[in-house]
Structure 1
Amino acid sequence: MSDLTHHPVQHDLAPGEEEIHSVGERIVGYVVGLGLALLLTATSFFIAGTNLVWQPSIPIAIIVLAIAQMGVHLVFFLHITTGPDNTNNVLALAFGLLIVFLVVGGSVWIMSHLNENMPAMDQIMRMQ
């Protein structure tokens, strides 16, 4: 007899295929994600409403907690991972973020230029 143990053969997955997980594993993943999301939300509300944190650091702490919560949602609920089968999902997410930043950044840019180039309301009233 050989001393090799019998392990199930691990096979590669094609892009778009998902590994088969039991219902229990999926529920545990969702419950862990929900717990982390609730913990991060409660921490954000606690930081915003308490005097225990240095006041100028509150916006930075809330931004950090918001980014952490986005990460929790991406991993636990949207199942975005670094695996080779998620390349299309990551590219679609990156493209969506690019479009959002272009629209928001372009709107802010246009509004700031309009603010600089438009006369103030009191000047308009004096011209009439």
Structure 2
Amino acid sequence: MNDHYDAQGEAPGISEHSGGGLRSYLIGAGFATILTLASFWASSTQLIYGPGVPILLGVLAIAQMGVHLVFFLHISSAPDQTNNFLALAFGIFVVGLVVFGSMIIMANLNHAMMPMNRLMQMQR
């Protein structure tokens, strides 16, 4: 038995489900195209209740991210993907921390700011 292969006869870190062949990329491109066209349709049609459009676009955007993670970045729940999944989770955490932290800081600064009419009176 060759030392470069694991017990199942595959190279370490490479399996049928984690690697991406041309077929996987084409399926992912098809799903991504369909979701993109659905987003353009949803934003331009009158068939959907107006206030529900942003929610639908958010759902389609999350689905698009899922397609990219699975078909192009090959992120899965397989045991050999633990490090990739943890790196993704940490990246999402950091981005969320920066975005929501910035929103909290800006809201606090806006609350502490002097009203514009009083600022204009002080300049006269």
> Normalized against structure 2, the TM-score is what?
0.85
Percent identity of the aligned residues?
50
Please give the secondary structure, in 2, of the residue aligned with 1:33: helix
Seen in structure 2, the aligned counterparts of structure 1 residues 13 and 102 have a Cα distance that, compared at 3 Å, is farther
Matches within 5 A, 1:68-83: 68-83=63-78
- Per-residue CA deviations over 1:57-95 (Å, capped at 9, x if unaligned) read 111111111110000000000000010000000000000
1:17 maps to 2:9: no
Query: How many residues get paired?
Result: 116
Give distance in 2, aligned partners of 1:116 and 1:96. Answer: 30
Give distance in 2, aligned partners of 1:99 and 1:13. Answer: 35
Give distance in 2, aligned partners of 1:103 and 1:56. Answer: 28
The corresponding residue for 1:103 is: 98
**Greater RCO structure (CA 8 Å; 6+ sep):** 1
Structure 1 runs of 4+ with >6 Å offset: none
Work out which of the two has the higher radius of gyration on C-alpha atoms and give 1 or 2.
Answer: 1
Give distance in 1, aligned partners of 2:58 and 2:119. Answer: 40
Q: Which runs of 5+ in 2 are unaligned?
A: 1-6
